[in-house]
Every structure is written in structure tokens, then in C-alpha cells.
Chain A
């Protein structure tokens, strides 16, 4: 086996990414910073088009080079800036140190290869195992992700498996090289509720067993509430608020976060109108001046339309945790 670099943090600093198509430039990420420790679940919550998936693909180095441009920013794995590495060295990290689970397993598994080949490919490539060793290890991993009948599964093609099983296979491939960090990009969105719970429980148990740090990307606040330690809320390519789970749910400070919480229907709100956020998410080509949320914000003032708010520390309920938000009007009275 090759020597391992075990890194304890994954840190994104001021990442700014654009997609360029002809004359048009879509500024998908506009200076994102977040840090992820091992054994921690850090969730990135946002609506579609807010830049969640661009963040994850950028970490994995999977952005299409023809159209994507990284304007600035760094991604540190331990001490190493992985964006500055050569493709050849990046490839050593990708899949081994940082692995990823995608939303739709059916699209990311190769339909023409047996599942066994897809799992052992990783082991042979990254850990230099021979075929026999790799199969033994693959069987262990299948057991770990809760799939019985290992030999039979290794010999089957993806279409022979159910959606939940495919997602377990994706997770098996991701954890096969014992990564320090796992990026889970909406891993349960395509699944039914009962399956969703099984997969979430699996991800949490694997985190504890393998001491992984997990970047969990989702649009579903309820799921995020169940599994996260730390939550960052992303809107139009910027992180608008970031705090520990307890702090964020008890004391949301950014108007967007507050309104997002209020707009979720549940049984307690029966008979009352939902407080909907007016307007729609801006697309990355036409992000409003100043604070991107100001056209939809109920308390916006003149300054919000002209100056982009800095990310500031705000008062936290718990003295231990920091709580940051990017809004000019944090102290302003919020009326319902």
C-alpha cells in the first residue's frame, strides 16, 4: 500500500467561479469560504442554482475546463492547496482523500460494467491492490454499507439493483479507499422517505466508523436538521449565514434563512397562510447589485441595493460557537 496523507481539515477560502459561454459570463460562486473538520457533518443548504453543486464539483476538480474559470480562491486539504496541484497529483487525491456521492446513482454508475469491476477499479488504482485483494476488500465494504449477498451483487449490473441499493453501491465506491472527507451531493433526493432514512443513517454510521468529515449538500432543511453539526446557507453563490445546527435553528439572523424556515409547511402551521418568499432565485448571469437577496427581502434599505454586505460575526446564543451572517441590517427589528 502507498503511504497515506491524513488531513484533518478541508478548507475552502474565497472561492470564485464563473462559467463562460460566448459573451455571457455566469458568476456561479462569488467568494465562498467554508471549513470542514473530520468527524463533522457540515451541510450546505440552498435552492437550485445557488451554487451548491458547483462547490462540490470544484472541490473534486470536476468542473468542465472548457467553460469553467476559477477566478480566485484556494481549497486547502490540510496544508496543501489542491487547486494549485497538477492534474496528475490532483487525481491522487480525488477519490482517495476526498470522495463524492452523487444525487442520482443511476447516472453515475456505468451501466455496462458489473458493480464489482466498478468498486475494485478504485482499489486497484489508488491502493495498488491486485485483483484477489480488491475483491476481498470489496466484499468487506459491501458488508459495511449493509448489502448482503456480496458475491452476487459484485456480479450484477446496475440495472439489476434497486434505487436504494444503487445508492449504497455509490457510497461503497466512495468509501472504498477510506477517504478523509466525503462530499454527499443530495444523496437522498431521488429516494423515497423510508429509503432516505436508511441512507442517512448509513452515512452517519460510516462517519463515526471511519472518522470522515462530511460535506452534505441539500435543499431540504428537515433532512439537514436531522444530520448536521454545522450548517451554511448559500444564496446566489455566496454564503449568507453559517452557524452550528442548534444555533441556526434557534436563532436565524439572515432574512433569507428566517424566511426559508417560515416557508416550510408542517402540521403546526395548519390553517395559517405560509409566509412565502416573493420573487424567484436570481440566475447566475444577472445577480442583483449589492446584496443579492435585497429584491426579495422585506426589510431591505437603500444600502442593500448598492453595497455588498461583508460576512460578520453576530451574537451567538452559545458562547462556544461562532455565528456569521452577511447582512447590513442584522440588528434591525424583524416584524412578522
Chain B
């Protein structure tokens, strides 16, 4: 399969900007993340809050450009581009945020809100209205409601509008940052079905970020588990669900509600039961870098100490 997005050693550090303080208080939000996303697949990224999921997504979108590392989009390193060279890529990747209320400007009608992007990419002016109606229809919003304002829609409808706006750029790659977490259970399924339909219709590629393991395991082709800014395990969904290897993945999976074996997994020092030879995970030492090691078939596990075999 062809790779659409390749991330190489992405790192994002937030520096503290205290005026007088001598103490360096840098916060490493994303540490040495590498991953590949294949064309027309869904890549699921799971982790608890504060693990760096959203920071990584914003880095990929170049909303918060990464401190170091490469982002290859179809083979081009877009992290090194700027200004005019970057602009065409901006349209090819779009993001859908968690909270549609803050993603839509309350003072702009849906039509104006969607028009902005189209004007920006020099879409023929006389065709804009037709295009917006078409997009709204696509996501299940009546085009007659285009003049309404965001507060006149329900949460699920607002999320549909945000998706339509993202699609107006005709992107190839869509980052979905917890797109259904704020919605009601019965509405979640509607949005998920819509996303799946759109993916098939326009051969889109998704980076799907969520804390909901059940949802990610339903949707994704590939899953990566993130912990404290690093990817600790990544594999095809079936593989990682059947045989999670990393202690953190095990703990995360067994705490998900609705699991039969609902026990809290306590990671012990030097835990190594049922793992390939040469692997020890804990204790993670602060200086050492977590390396992802392929255990075969693309199932990668992060490991602090690999005795090399």
C-alpha cells in the first residue's frame, strides 16, 4: 500500500516563557514520534488525556509546527516548506475538532462560514453557492438552512457542518480529533456512519484520535497507543486487540468499560511475561529513549532496553 503520510521523529517542546525565572521549565509534549499512514485507511490514535494526542495532530496539520522531525505528505517534507509552497498542502489536509461549538464562529451564518475557505482557494465565485449547497446536502443538512447561524443547530448538526466545511477543500487527508466525544450516544453512530461513507466516496485517509477504545477498534485499520508523548505500541487493529504487548496497552485495554477481565493491571518492574526474548519494559528510565521495535508483521512495541538479538 502507498503511504500518504509519514511522520519521522516528530518532537514538540513547549517552552516556558517566564520573564524572570532562571529555571528552565520546558515541557516535552511529543517525543520522537514516527508513524506511517497508508492511503485510504483509518489510523486510530488512542491515549489518555494529556498524552499528547492533540498536540501531535496539530503538529501534523502544521497548526503548531513541530520543533524537529519530518512530515512527509506523499513524499514531500511539508515541515520544511513555508509560505507559498505550503499553501497547496494546507487545502489537502483538514481537521475536524472535538467541540463544534468552538469550531464555528457564532456570528457567521453557515453559508459565510463555509464561503471563507472557498474564497481563499480562489474557487469560482459564481459557483460558490452551488458548491456549498452540494456539500451541505452531502452531510445531511438541508441546503435551505445555509443562512442560519450555528446556535440554531443541534450538536450533531453542527458537527456535520464542520465536516462539510473540511470537505469543501477537497482534502485527501482528514484529522478527526475526538469528533464524536461531545455528542449523545444515539447521534454518535450517525456521525460515524457519515464519516465512513465519505471515506469511501472520496477515498479519504483519516487520522482518528480518540480515548474511546471500543470506537477506535471498530473504526480503524491501524491503531497506535500513545503514552506521555510517545507511541508505545502500534499494529493492525486485530493484532493489537488480540495480543497487546506493552504493559500500558494492556492496562488501557483492560480498563475500558465493558471488558470481561476488568482488572487493573499493575505494571511491575522488569515485567516480561509472555513477551519475545530480549524485551524488558520497566522501569522506564528517564534518559533512555523509547525505541519502537518490530516484533513481526508490523506489530511495533516500544521498548526501553533491548538486548539486541
**What is the interface of chain A, defined by CB distance below 8 A to chain B?**
47-48, 192-194, 196-198, 200-201, 219-223, 225-226, 259-260, 263-267, 269-270, 273-278, 280-281
Contact partner of B190 among A193, A223, A278, CB < 8 A?
A: A278
Inter-chain contacts of B264 with A (CB < 8 A): 194, 197-198, 201
In the bound complex, what is the Cα–Cα distance between A200 and B263 (angstroms)?
Answer: 11
Q: Mark B176-194, 1 if CB is under 8 A from A, else 0.
A: 0000000011111110110
Inter-chain contacts of B255 with A (CB < 8 A): 193-194, 196-197
Q: Which residue of A lies closest to B51 (CB)?
A: A192
Inter-chain contacts of A48 with B (CB < 8 A): 184
Inter-chain contacts of A267 with B (CB < 8 A): 214, 217-218, 237, 241
Residue pair B48, A194 in contact (C-beta under 8 Å): yes
Q: Which residue of B lies closest to A296 (CB)?
A: B186
CB A258 to nearest CB in B, in angstroms, measures: 12
CB A98 to nearest CB in B, in angstroms, measures: 26
Inter-chain contacts of A226 with B (CB < 8 A): 257-258, 262
Residue pair A265, B192 in contact (C-beta under 8 Å): yes
Residue pair B196, A264 in contact (C-beta under 8 Å): no
Residue pair B257, A220 in contact (C-beta under 8 Å): yes
Q: Which residue of B lies closest to A49 (CB)?
A: B184
Inter-chain contacts of B49 with A (CB < 8 A): 192
Inter-chain contacts of B186 with A (CB < 8 A): 47, 259-260, 263, 276-277, 280-281
Interface size on B, residues (CB 8 A): 32
Residue pair A281, B214 in contact (C-beta under 8 Å): no
In the bound complex, what is the Cα–Cα distance between A196 and B251 (angstroms)?
Answer: 12
In the bound complex, what is the Cα–Cα distance between A260 and B189 (angstroms)?
Answer: 10
Ranked 7 nearest A-B pairs via Cβ: A222-B258, A276-B189, A265-B218, A263-B189, A222-B257, A277-B186, A267-B217
Inter-chain contacts of B257 with A (CB < 8 A): 193, 196-197, 200, 220, 222-223, 225-226
Contact partner of A280 among B187, B189, B251, CB < 8 A?
A: B187
In the bound complex, what is the Cα–Cα distance between A280 and B156 (angstroms)?
Answer: 8
Contact partner of B185 among A200, A260, A269, A270, CB < 8 A?
A: A260
Inter-chain contacts of B211 with A (CB < 8 A): 192-193
Inter-chain contacts of A281 with B (CB < 8 A): 184, 186
CB B223 to nearest CB in A, in angstroms, measures: 11
Given the known interface contacts A47-B186, A201-B264, the answer about A193 and B193 at a Cβ–Cβ threshold of 8 Å is no
> Can you list 15 A-B pairs with a CB-CB distance of less than 8 A?
A193-B255, A200-B257, A220-B257, A222-B258, A226-B258, A264-B185, A265-B214, A266-B214, A266-B217, A266-B258, A275-B189, A276-B190, A280-B157, A280-B186, A281-B186
The answer to whether the Cβ of B76 comes within 8 Å of any Cβ in the partner chain is no
The answer to whether the Cβ of B203 comes within 8 Å of any Cβ in the partner chain is no
CB A52 to nearest CB in B, in angstroms, measures: 12
CB B99 to nearest CB in A, in angstroms, measures: 14
CB A325 to nearest CB in B, in angstroms, measures: 18
Q: Which residue of A lies closest to B190 (CB)?
A: A276
In the bound complex, what is the Cα–Cα distance between A196 and B190 (angstroms)?
Answer: 26
In the bound complex, what is the Cα–Cα distance between A194 and B247 (angstroms)?
Answer: 13
Residue pair A47, B184 in contact (C-beta under 8 Å): yes
Residue pair B193, A194 in contact (C-beta under 8 Å): no
In the bound complex, what is the Cα–Cα distance between A226 and B237 (angstroms)?
Answer: 24
Contact partner of B184 among A194, A219, A221, CB < 8 A?
A: A219
Inter-chain contacts of B188 with A (CB < 8 A): 263, 265
The answer to whether the Cβ of B219 comes within 8 Å of any Cβ in the partner chain is yes
Inter-chain contacts of A197 with B (CB < 8 A): 255, 257, 262, 264
Residue pair A219, B185 in contact (C-beta under 8 Å): yes
In the bound complex, what is the Cα–Cα distance between A226 and B217 (angstroms)?
Answer: 19
In the bound complex, what is the Cα–Cα distance between A193 and B215 (angstroms)?
Answer: 13
In the bound complex, what is the Cα–Cα distance between A152 and B40 (angstroms)?
Answer: 53
CB B244 to nearest CB in A, in angstroms, measures: 13
Q: Which residue of B lies closest to A271 (CB)?
A: B218
Given the known interface contacts A194-B264, A222-B258, the answer about A264 and B193 at a Cβ–Cβ threshold of 8 Å is no
Inter-chain contacts of A280 with B (CB < 8 A): 154, 156-157, 184, 186-187
In the bound complex, what is the Cα–Cα distance between A219 and B219 (angstroms)?
Answer: 21
CB A190 to nearest CB in B, in angstroms, measures: 10
In residues 181-235 of chain B, which contact A (Cβ within 8 Å)? 184-190, 192-193, 196, 211, 213-215, 217-219
Inter-chain contacts of A193 with B (CB < 8 A): 48, 211, 213, 252, 255-257
Residue pair B193, A222 in contact (C-beta under 8 Å): no
In residues 230-285 of chain B, which contact A (Cβ within 8 Å)? 237, 241, 251-252, 255-258, 262, 264
Q: Mark B113-145, 1 if CB is under 8 A from A, else 0.
A: 000000000000000000000000000000000
CB B227 to nearest CB in A, in angstroms, measures: 11
In the bound complex, what is the Cα–Cα distance between A266 and B259 (angstroms)?
Answer: 11
Q: Which residue of A lies closest to B221 (CB)?
A: A270
CB A292 to nearest CB in B, in angstroms, measures: 13
In the bound complex, what is the Cα–Cα distance between A280 and B154 (angstroms)?
Answer: 8
Which residue of A265, A270, A275, A280 has the most chain B CB atoms within 10 A of its CB atom?
A265
Q: Which residue of A lies closest to B254 (CB)?
A: A197
Residue pair B189, A194 in contact (C-beta under 8 Å): no
Q: Which residue of A lies closest to B218 (CB)?
A: A265
Inter-chain contacts of A221 with B (CB < 8 A): 185
In the bound complex, what is the Cα–Cα distance between A159 and B257 (angstroms)?
Answer: 28
Residue pair A274, B193 in contact (C-beta under 8 Å): yes
Residue pair B252, A194 in contact (C-beta under 8 Å): yes
Which residue of B157, B196, B211, B258 has the most chain A CB atoms within 10 A of its CB atom?
B258
In the bound complex, what is the Cα–Cα distance between A221 and B215 (angstroms)?
Answer: 13
